[in-house]
Chains A and B, each alone.
Chain A
Amino acid sequence: MNGDLVLLIVVVITALSFDFTNGFHDTANAMATSIATGALKPKVAVALSAVLNFVGAFLSLKVAATIANGIVDSGAITLTVVFAGLVGGLAWNLITWYYGIPSSSSHALIGGVVGATLLASGIKAVKGEGLMSHVIIPAVLAPVAAIAVATVGTFLVYVLTRQVAEKTRTKGFKIGQIGSASLVSLAHGTNDAQKTMGIITLALIANGTITQHAGTPFWVVVCSATAIAAGTYIGGWRVIRTLGKGLTEIETPQGFAAETSSATVILTSTHFGFPLSTTQVCTGSVIGAGLGKRLAQVRWSVAARMGLAWLITLPAAALVGAVAFGAAHLIGGALGVIVVFTAAVVFAALLYLASRKTAVNAGNVNDEWVGSGTPTQVGTPV
């Protein structure tokens, strides 16, 4: 087995691992509100979301074999840069999961690639304008748009249905909420699984395994769909808890309005080609659902933690990406990549072990929210 093949295999495994973390990190986007309101049992919710993510991955197969397109000079993208970028995104996904913070997997990946590229090819290879228009401005606008839609939606929903019998209202909105959450899951599968397919296809082309115009091999589609669905099913309970219980207490009508808002904002942004992060949209929708109901409380300290995490997503992932590239480059060849990969696996294992001390699972995900709201306070109501 030669060095190139080893490198390719490690890149593919890392890409699928990233896809897996993408899945469990983002389960919350679609399902946190349905779990919080009891519209769906926690396990049922993650299973439904997993199936829809899997199906979504097959819906549209116009895969673009790109990574950080328009942000990094495509000539600067080598297999090692892709690998280091993935490690940066992975690390940031795992850290934010540990702290129960919903954060954009796409932005983390872009950060990782930018960091690796900076070290590999210098500042010239990074397009500042692309970074601004693809990441930074959308990151500010996504929550704003979602908050606006969800606030008005929630307000209207409560005003319109104030005469409707409580039983009918709760049951009706439960059904509506499950429907709109399903749409968000489906959209997530089409969007995010395709990114991994694109990365693996890019790696295969770079290695000469397939030609530029060969299209994505079917095994890549199946593996990416499976990885994201498996991740979704594992359920990022820590993030689900923050989004469903931490930001605001959600009732069924609010959950319905929030998910409807998320689905429409995500799909219109897809349609008009203005990329908005699913995670930021969904978080904004939940905040809006809190604002739209009179006297509902939004825990701004929790929202501020998220805002801070979003601010440092790009530089933090970039730092890890750069360090990963530096280390792999310094050691050199396939061995360098294997050493960095091993370090990433050890880091993930340690973080997982640390998370066991304050484990969040299907059983305690809906416990009362206490304290300043980190998952460490789970299960210890005051």
Chain B
Amino acid sequence: MSWIDTDALWRVMVASLVGGVGIAALFSVGLIGLSSGRTVGRVAGGVCFVLVIAGVLLGVYVMLDK
């Protein structure tokens, strides 16, 4: 099938599922950590938010790289 780039399509599907769901989940876990009231929870939450920010930076990089 030349009119559909299945290779690119699969990559988009997998990457956006992993990325989109992953970032939403990380952010949620970050909120759990933040609201746990314990230091270890807050640190873990902080790590989650740092990972989310890394994801955002990756997104900006993709835009610049285009």
Taking beta carbons and an 8 Å cutoff, which residues of A are in contact with B?
56, 59-60, 62, 129, 132-133, 137, 141, 145, 148-150, 152-154, 156-157, 160-161, 163-165, 168-169, 172-173, 176, 179, 183, 186-187, 190, 256-257, 260-261, 263-265, 267-274, 276
Contacts and interface: CB of A to CB of B under 8 A. Distances in A.
Contacts of B62: 267-268, 270-271
A60 B24 contact: no
A267 B20 CA distance: 10
Interface string B1-42: 011110011011101110111011101111110110000000
22 contacts: A59-B64, A137-B3, A141-B9, A148-B17, A153-B20, A156-B28, A157-B27, A168-B31, A169-B31, A172-B30, A186-B60, A186-B63, A187-B59, A187-B63, A260-B20, A264-B15, A264-B16, A264-B59, A265-B12, A272-B12, A274-B5, A274-B9
B56 A179 contact: yes
Tell me if B's interface is mostly helix, strand, loop or mixed. Answer: helix
Contacts of A271: 15, 62, 65
Contacts of A183: 56, 59-60
Given A60-B64, A157-B28, A272-B8, A265 B20 contact: yes
Interface of B: 2-5, 8-9, 11-13, 15-17, 19-21, 23-25, 27-32, 34-35, 52, 56, 59-60, 62-66
Contacts of A186: 60, 63
Given A160-B25, A160-B28, A267-B59, A62 B66 contact: yes
A145 B13 contact: yes
> 10 nearest interchain CB pairs?
A264-B20, A160-B28, A153-B24, A149-B20, A274-B8, A264-B19, A268-B15, A133-B3, A265-B16, A132-B3
A154 B29 CA distance: 13
A51 to B, nearest CB: 15
B24 A257 contact: yes
B63 A190 contact: yes
Contact of B12 (A153, A161, A179, A276): A276
B1 to A, nearest CB: 9
A268 B8 CA distance: 10
A183 B56 CA distance: 8
Nearest to B13: A145
Contacts of B20: 149-150, 153, 260-261, 263-265
Given A149-B16, A269-B12, A164 B24 contact: no
A152 B59 contact: no
Contacts of A168: 31, 34-35
A156 B2 CA distance: 37
Contacts of B17: 148-149, 152
B12 A176 contact: no
